[in-house]
């Protein structure tokens, strides 16, 4: 999965103008952040969210001595990016996996440590632009939303079968939707008449359910509900909770990690993992801090970096992006 979440574009009616479907978000900044760790020949960099392969291609081009390991749970993304990266031959290993499976993938490839890791979270441009995937609320489509369509429950199954209280929790926790109870009451009422199958009916229901004041702000009123359903269907936050610490652990000393997030839930989780790694964990009052308590990460960003105004103008899907980076500065004592 490759995150250019595109919520502003969906509200404007679908695909962005020009070539922004294929433009990797904050590309040069990500490359610059990872560059000091990828200078040595034989360095391994992991693209945990391959998508259409834009970031991976740039990594292979800019750093001719690196080997790439790239993961994606979407088989169609792997097929398309495989064609794109074919000229790089055996420098690129493409793997069908969810990114919390990174330790297993590296173990199978006999790669004990890596020098760089990149995450570009969220849903990919390809998934948004292909109507039959059901991610975009601006076009009618089957309510699927699975990034890997070979497994798991669809968004329609979530809407039609989850208890009302669980649906309210999901909309509040994953969509930060203040009108969750109102929307869920309408969903429960309507699903008893006929199960939900397509996105247009859900969008219309949300518009009808919300008070006028709530419809005047924040873009398309369906945006938060669709985000919440997508996160639930794909287990995105629980996967991320496992994946970021695993990626940090996979870094060699001097290795670097860069993470692009597209909403506050993702960014908060990344911030917490990085802050914990960069903290001194010694009990207060020790005259000398033993090594096991010293930070193992150095933060590479002050807060989260934002895309430039110029980039957002060229690629509106970059607008919600937040970039954080960290460098591994010591091993964990228990490793």
Weakest-pLDDT range from 78-87, 140-149, 211-220? 211-220
Q: Residue 47, annotated ligand binder?
A: no
Q: Residue 294, annotated ligand binder?
A: no
Burial of 176 (0-12, 13-18, 19+ CB in 10 A): middle
Segment 93-102 mean pLDDT: 96
Supply the DSSP symbol for 261: E
Residues 15 and 107 in one domain: yes
Residue-averaged pLDDT of the chain = 87
Helix/strand/coil (H, E, C) string of 53-98?
Answer: CHHHHHHHHHCCCCEEEEEECCHHHHHHHHHHHHHHHHHEEEEECC
Domain for residue 2, yes or no? no
Q: Residue 120, annotated ligand binder?
A: yes
Segment 219-225 mean pLDDT: 85
CATH number, domain containing residue 209:
1.10.150.170
CATH number, domain containing residue 30:
3.40.50.150
d(CA 193, CA 179) in angstroms, rounded, equals 22
Residues 16 and 71 in one domain: yes
Q: Residue 55, annotated ligand binder?
A: yes
Segment 237-264 mean pLDDT: 96
Q: How many CB atoms lie within 10 A of CB 91?
A: 15
Weakest-pLDDT range from 9-18, 90-99, 202-211? 9-18
Q: Residue 88, annotated ligand binder?
A: no
* Cα 83 from chain centre: 23
Domain for residue 68, yes or no? yes
Close Cβ partners of 322 (under 8 Å, ≥ 6 residues apart): 260, 261, 262, 267, 304, 305, 306
Q: Residue 325, annotated ligand binder?
A: no
Taking alpha carbons only, the member of 264, 251, 234 closest to residue 297 is: 251
pLDDT at residue 249, rounded to an integer: 96
CB 237, CB 231: distance < 8 Å: yes
Q: Residue 263, annotated ligand binder?
A: no
pLDDT over 70 (residue 74): yes
Question: Beta-strand (E) ranges in the chain?
Answer: 44-47, 67-72, 92-96, 114-120, 251-261, 297-299, 322-328
What percentage of the chain reaches a pLDDT higher than 90? 67
CB 329, CB 295: distance < 8 Å: yes
Last residue within a domain, chosen from 191, 214, 234: 234
Residues 185 and 161 in one domain: yes
Segment 12-28 mean pLDDT: 55
Supply the DSSP symbol for 258: E
């Amino acid at each position: 999965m490759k995150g250019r979440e595109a919520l502003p574009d969906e509200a404007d009616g679908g695909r962005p103008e020009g070539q922004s479907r294929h433009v990797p978000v904050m590309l040069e900044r990500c490359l610059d952040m990872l560059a000091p760790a990828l200078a040595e020949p034989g360095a391994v960099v992991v693209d945990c969210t391959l998508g259409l392969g834009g970031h991976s291609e740039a990594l292979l081009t800019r750093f001719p001595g690196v080997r790439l390991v790239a993961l994606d749970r979407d088989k169609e993304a792997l097929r398309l990016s495989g064609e794109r990266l074919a000229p790089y031959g055996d420098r690129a290993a493409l793997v069908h996996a969810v990114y919390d499976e990174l330790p297993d993938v590296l173990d199978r490839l006999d790669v004990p440590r890596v020098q760089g890791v990149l995450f570009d979270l969220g849903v990919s441009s390809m998934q948004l632009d292909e109507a039959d995937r059901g991610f975009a609320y601006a076009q009618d489509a089957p309510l699927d939303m699975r990034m890997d369509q070979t497994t798991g429950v669809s968004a329609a199954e979530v809407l039609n079968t989850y208890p009302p209280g669980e649906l309210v929790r999901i909309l509040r926790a994953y969509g930060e939707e203040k009108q969750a109870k109102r929307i869920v009451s309408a969903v429960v009422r309507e699903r008893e008449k006929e199960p939900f199958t397509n996105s247009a009916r859900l969008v219309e229901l949300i518009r009808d359910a919300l008070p006028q004041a709530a419809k005047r702000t924040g873009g398309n009123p369906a945006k938060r509900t669709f985000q919440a359903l997508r996160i639930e269907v794909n287990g995105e936050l629980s996967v991320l909770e496992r994946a970021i610490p695993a990626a940090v652990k996979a870094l060699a000393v001097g290795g670097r990690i860069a993470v692009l997030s597209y909403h506050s839930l993702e960014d908060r989780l990344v911030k917490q993992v990085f802050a914990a790694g960069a903290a001194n964990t010694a009990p207060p009052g020790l005259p000398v801090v033993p090594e096991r308590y010293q930070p193992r990460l150095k933060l590479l960003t002050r807060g989260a970096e934002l895309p430039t105004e110029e980039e957002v103008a060229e690629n509106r899907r970059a607008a919600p992006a937040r970039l954080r980076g960290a460098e591994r500065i010591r091993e964990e004592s228990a490793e």
